[in-house]
Amino acid sequence: MSFPEAHLAFVTSVLTLDGAARYLCLDEITRSSDATKSAYTDSLLAVIDDVAARLAANDPKWARMKTLSIFALMVGTLQVSRALADRQLADEVLEQGIQNALALLGAEHPSVRKR
């Protein structure tokens, strides 16, 4: 899978109905046992680290934190969208969330100077 395709797959896996069930249960996980939280963390980081490696393999710590923060933004977008009564507005929020996440994933590492 190419760099842009991997990003799109990551974003759409979170900001679609398929991702909703997986990522909107966070309030349940916060009330769960340490073992459940640990399993969730391990599972999430496997996905995050795969995306992060494509983002900046030369700086895995930076790439992991950037990818985790984008993931958090996407989950928030999904939660807001699902809470809206206006379906058209909800769909627009999701579409803009996808565009925002893709733009953020395409951002350069801060150590890279733009010409």
State pTM to two decimals.
0.75
DSSP letter string, 3-15? HHHHHHHHHHHHS
Report the pLDDT averaged over residues 91-115.
Answer: 74
Residue for token pair 């996808």: 98
Smallest CA-to-CA distance from 24 within 70, 77, 79, 69 is with 79
pLDDT at residue 37 tops 80: yes
115 — pLDDT class (breaks 50, 70, 90): very low
Give 67-100 pLDDT, tens digit per residue.
999 989 988 898 898 899 999 999 999 889 888 8
DSSP code at position 32: S
Q: Are 93 and 84 in contact (CB under 8 A)?
A: yes
The whole-number pLDDT of residue 23 equals 63
Domain spans of the chain, in order of start: 3-105
